[in-house]
Amino acid sequence: MRFYSTNNPEITVTTEQALFHSMPADKGLYMPTPLPHLGTQFFDDISGQSLAEIGFEISKALFGDEISKADLEELTHRAFPFDTPVVNLEAGRMAVLELFHGPSLAFKDVGARYMAALMSYYSKRSDKEINILVATSGDTGGAVAMGFHNVHGVRVSILYPSGRVSDLQEKQLTTLGGNVQAFEVDGSFDDCQAIVKQAFVDAELNAQLSLSSANSINIFRLIPQGFYYVRAYGQVRNHQKPIVFSTPSGNFGNLSAGVMVQQMGLPVDHFVAATNLNHVVPDYLTTGTYIPKESVATISNAMDVGSPSNFVRLSHLYGDNFNQFKANVSGYFYDDDATRAGMQKIYAKYGYIACPHTAIGIMGAQDFLVESKQNSIGIALATAHPSKFKPLVEEVLNLTVDVPERLAKLADRPKHSIFIPAQYEAFKESLLQTVA
């Protein structure tokens, strides 16, 4: 497998280079080439397979020439000790694909853990220590921190804005210890991101440490997200109905992963791109013109993205052809009032407690099925556990939401963070101390 930049398909790099450099020097995005076709037999045989087993099979097709089968099997099983079950809302008609059974209770675990496992595979063989730097506004940091915790040869430094993440999110970042160090920045998320960016261009620092990023641009976070679309297919294929996936979207990594695996042969009839008021992609699908905007704040805040970084990838997958794109993806968007009403209707109709993001996915599937595909089965991706948005969900649905045991127990663990001003030099000094 090689990887080319969306800005220049002529030049390709190795798996290891794309993994550790995240972004090509020409500021494009890496894409895998060639995308293998998995074969119809493969999809006929997967009904009983777990996420880890499917991940292993697809990983073999992608990286079997470079990484031994035994290593791929070990790393996929280590990455996915949880499954992604399909839960029926209305049998044969509407279902959710629950992606929140991992440690941070959101689908980002899947990408972060696979990327971490691959990085550990390569770093073991080179015996140089890798330093991952991540800025987080909350969610991504938790998935990355837990994904890399205790991973051999990798040290993780997480920068988060002090006082601006939820208590539970902070616990996920600050209680792990070991190879995970949290830096609590006296500033905003943008300050954290600016510090990380500066670190990557600091020649002196890069001469001392082998720095790498775990941001969502990394293609190895997207590739494993394709695995759960396949897992879902394995669970509903007995209905023998065309499948419509509805993906609640922000940066559009999740949807890009679905389209990528469709191009590897997964039988998907159609995708719904479901968003909140940040609806530049649904607008594009109506008008044919893509106009990135400033993001607006909503209650489904993990999707508050005005300029989705993966739009380029998605468009690229359709050969930058609007008609092809539009034939395969429909856009729907919902404001906060509609999202609250949707959460209530979903609970009333199906008895299902959906987080605001998941509710947007379910509404997208419902609206699309009613309008155009009466005989299809709709599968909405449930991107986060409702307890991740506990106060909001409890207020909207007027009930109590329990935090799963594995996360609730973090609440009693002591917090360890290094408090720093929002200044690059302060970060650099304390980073060098922690790794010394």
Minimum distance of ligand PLP from residue 112's CB (angstroms): 11
Handedness of CA 395, 397, 399, 404 (dihedral sign): negative
**In this complex, which beta carbon is closest to ligand PLP, that of residue 205 or of residue 261?**
261
Work out whether 251 is an interface residue with ligand PLP (CB under 6 A): yes
Angstrom distance (rounded) from CA 330 to CA 310: 17
Residue 224 vs 253, nearer CB to ligand PLP? 253
Tell me: does residue 275 bind ligand PLP (CB under 6 A). Answer: no
The region of 63-71, 87-95, 252-260, 328-336 touching ligand PLP under the rule CB under 6 A is: 252-260
| 136 forms part of the interface with ligand PLP (CB under 6 A) | no
Output 123 or 216, the one with its CB closest to ligand PLP: 216
Looking up tokens 């609640």, which residue turns up? 248
Q: Does 106 bind ligand PLP (CB under 6 A)?
A: yes
Q: If binding is defined by CB under 6 A, does position 276 make contact with ligand PLP?
A: no
CA atoms of 394 and 387, how far apart (whole Å) = 9
196 backbone φψ class: left, alpha, beta (φ>0; ψ -120 to 50) = alpha
Nearest distance in Å: CB 189, ligand PLP: 14
Q: Which of 193, 249, 278, 387 binds ligand PLP (CB under 6 A)?
A: 249
Q: Is 263 exposed, middle or buried (0-12, 13-18, 19+ CB in 10 A)?
A: middle
To ligand PLP, the closest distance from the beta carbon of 150 in angstroms equals 23
Nearest distance, CB of residue 312 and ligand PLP, angstroms: 14
Integer Cα distance of 162 and 188 in angstroms? 8
Interacting residue with ligand PLP among 108, 270, 279, 340 (CB under 6 A)? 108
Of the ranges 43-51, 247-255, 319-327, 405-413, which one interacts with ligand PLP (CB under 6 A)?
247-255
Which residue in 119, 144, 302, 343 binds ligand PLP (CB under 6 A)?
Answer: 302
Please choose, out of 150-158, 185-193, 234-242, 246-254, the segment that lies near ligand PLP by the rule CB under 6 A. 246-254
Instruction: Supply 254's token pair.
Output: 């999740």
Choices 235-243, 244-252, 321-329, 336-344; region in contact with ligand PLP by CB under 6 A: 244-252
- Which of 214, 303, 363, 392 is close enough to bind ligand PLP by CB under 6 A? 303
Regarding 29 and contact with ligand PLP (CB under 6 A), the answer is no
Residue of 22, 246, 254, 376 that binds ligand PLP (CB under 6 A): 254
Residue with smaller CB distance to ligand PLP, 55 or 111: 111
362: amino acid identity, one letter: I
The least distance separating ligand PLP from the CB of residue 318, rounded to whole angstroms, comes to: 17
Q: Site size for ligand PLP, by CB under 6 A?
A: 15
Stretch that binds ligand PLP, among 180-188, 243-251, 315-323, 403-411 (CB under 6 A): 243-251
Question: Contacts with ligand PLP in 141-170 (CB under 6 A)?
Answer: none
* Nearest alpha carbon to residue 112 among 244, 43, 214, 235: 214
384 in contact with ligand PLP (CB under 6 A): yes
Window 317 to 376, contacts with ligand PLP (CB under 6 A): 357
Pick the closer one to ligand PLP by CB: 139 or 184. 139
Is residue 253 within the footprint of ligand PLP (CB under 6 A)?
Answer: yes
- Residue nearer to ligand PLP on the CB measure, 300 or 366: 300
Q: According to CB under 6 A, which one of 28, 55, 250, 378 is a site residue for ligand PLP?
A: 250
* Closest to ligand PLP by CB, 251 or 263: 251
In the complex, the smallest distance separating the C-beta of residue 252 from ligand PLP, rounded to whole angstroms, is 5
SS (H, E, C) the chain: CEEEECCEEEEEECHHHHHHHCCCCCCCCEEEECCCCCCHHHHHCCCCCCHHHHHHHHHHHHHCCCCCHHHHHHHHHHHCCCCCCEEEEECCCEEEEECCCCCCCECHHHHHHHHHHHHHHHHHHHCCCEEEEEECCCHHHHHHHHHHCCCCCEEEEEEEECCCCCHHHHHHHHCCCCCEEEEEEECCHHHHHHHHHHHHCCHHHHHHCEEEECCCCCHHHHCCHHHHHHHHHHHHHHHCCCEEEEEECCCCHHHHHHHHHHHCCCCCCEEEEEECCCCHHHHHHHHCCCCCCCCCCCCCHHHCCCCCCCHHHHHHHCCCCHHHHHHHEEEEECCHHHHHHHHHHHHHHHCCCCCHHHHHHHHHHHHHHHHCCCCCEEEEEECECHHHHHHHHHHHHCCCCCCCHHHHHHHHCCCCCEEEECCHHHHHHHHHHHHC
Footprint on this chain of ligand PLP (rule: CB under 6 A)? 106, 108, 139, 248-254, 302-303, 357, 383-384
